[in-house]
Amino acid sequence: MPEEKPVIIYGGSFDPPHKGHIALAAAALRELKPRALFFVPGFRTPFKDLQPLSFGERALLLKEALRSSALAGRREVAISSFEAAQRRVVYTYETLAHFRKLYPRSPLYFLMGSDCLAGFGKWKRRREILKKAVLLAGLRPGYSMKAAGTAPFRPLKGLFPRAASSSLRGELFLGGKPPAVPRGVLRLIERKGLYLARERALLKGMLSARRFRHSLETARLALELAPGLGLSPQKAALAGLLHDCARELKPARLAGPAFKARTGGMLYGTIIKEAPVLLHAWAGAEIARAKFGVKDREMLEAVSLHATGAPGMGTLARLIYVADLAAAGRDFAEAGLVRELAGRDFAAAFRAANYVKLSYAFSSGGWVHPLSVSLWNSLQEKKKG
């Protein structure tokens, strides 16, 4: 029986879809003239309380990216829900088996960027994959054959710009408009409130322009430091954005019972009398829960403790504590020093942040929350131990 025209399978997370994806698909269409090219967005593993973009949302963005590109109206291009419908991580050999059944007589090509190729040595059932399909890769500038390992593949003609989805997501979390994301896709993200657009819009209505900028800068620094601490960038960005969400409430409004519950009632009367401004941290956590729907305990802890700190606070809480103090736009000299230190030695930056906060508190006189002092003591004990 004669062989039919090839079928191209393009797997990835498409979170978000960008011009690099479209360019790769367009090149593959030009070169192979297939009967079909399927974008196959994979299932994304959810964090405890943090849902990644659903397949439906990513498919919507991908459709928009296609609509506004040179691939608009190409009948052979389609989006497959096969992997997402399995509700689990699907291996490439399974996806290929699925398409082999659908197209028994077509040669299959599995399309990817050259950086994915480098990880091929760790894929499951590699021999089976290579028997079922030809790997088709778009090479990026600076690509080295050595880094690609031993996977045999067919390179597409030309070079393709590097566009890392993780850094695009970071920009989107902060409301940036990365040029690698098509304009129609950016508009849709805004309209649907994706990539924290909903949260940013809500927050903007609660804060002055100055404080909103500070929140964005705190989120930016938290995002930058999160990977080095093994933290989810999205959680870091959202906790950074929300940490001061109650900062501009009038003191009388900070004294509600729900906010009192967040402090655990600890020293509540004294805080109200001596340093009511500190209440914005616990109140912020309560507002993050009630108004922004944050259920994640690490994020709530980070907002609760960003002002005082506390011994034994979690990694995300430590990150927000440092990012708040050292965010760009802070007008005291130590901020820049702590920011610079945080990139090299986060533990040292955390100790320095505690030192700076306490020095300011002591030099201005008055009452200091015992949690801040306990944090100081716990850090001294660790240093000796």
* Size of interface with Fe ion, in residues (CB under 5 A): 2
Residues 188-227, mask of contacts with Fe ion (x by CB under 5 A): ----------------------------------------
In the complex with Fe ion, which residue's Cβ is closer, 301 or 324? 324
Rounded Cα gap, residues 315 and 229, in angstroms: 8
In the complex with Fe ion, which residue's Cβ is closer, 260 or 280? 280
Pick the binder of Fe ion from 324, 326, 339, 369 (CB under 5 A): 324
CB of 244 to Fe ion, least distance (A): 4
CB of 187 to Fe ion, least distance (A): 31
Rounded Cα gap, residues 7 and 9, in angstroms: 7
Stretch that binds Fe ion, among 137-145, 198-206, 316-324, 345-353 (CB under 5 A): 316-324
Pick the closest to residue 300 from 359, 239, 225, 355 (CA basis): 239
Pick the closest to residue 10 from 75, 60, 64, 82 (CA basis): 82
Rounded Cα gap, residues 152 and 23, in angstroms: 22
In the complex with Fe ion, which residue's Cβ is closer, 57 or 244? 244
Terminal-to-terminal C-alpha distance of the chain: 75
Stretch that binds Fe ion, among 5-13, 14-22, 319-327, 372-380 (CB under 5 A): 319-327
Residues 241-280, mask of contacts with Fe ion (x by CB under 5 A): ---x------------------------------------
Pairing, β 108-113 against β 77-79: unpaired
CB of 354 to Fe ion, least distance (A): 15
In the complex with Fe ion, which residue's Cβ is closer, 260 or 306? 306
Stretch that binds Fe ion, among 11-19, 65-73, 181-189, 321-329 (CB under 5 A): 321-329
In the complex with Fe ion, which residue's Cβ is closer, 163 or 283? 283
Any contact of residue 334 with Fe ion (CB under 5 A)?
no
Which tokens go with 79?
Answer: 């989006």
Stretch that binds Fe ion, among 115-123, 240-248, 360-368, 376-384 (CB under 5 A): 240-248
Q: What is the dihedral of CA 308, 314, 319, 321, to 10 degrees?
A: 0
Contact assessment for residue 83 and residue 109, using Cβ atoms and an 8 Å cutoff:
no
Contact assessment for residue 96 and residue 136, using Cβ atoms and an 8 Å cutoff:
no
CB of 364 to Fe ion, least distance (A): 16
Give ∠ CA 89-94-98 in degrees, rounded to 5. 120
Query: Please, which of residues 7-46 interact with Fe ion by CB under 5 A?
Result: none
| Look-up of token digits 């091929």 | 120
Rounded Cα gap, residues 135 and 338, in angstroms: 47
Q: What is the largest CA-CA distance in the chain?
A: 89
How many residues appear in the chain?
385
In the complex with Fe ion, which residue's Cβ is closer, 244 or 296? 244
Residue 109 β-bridge partners? 8, 134
CB of 324 to Fe ion, least distance (A): 4
Q: Which residues bind Fe ion (CB under 5 A)?
A: 244, 324
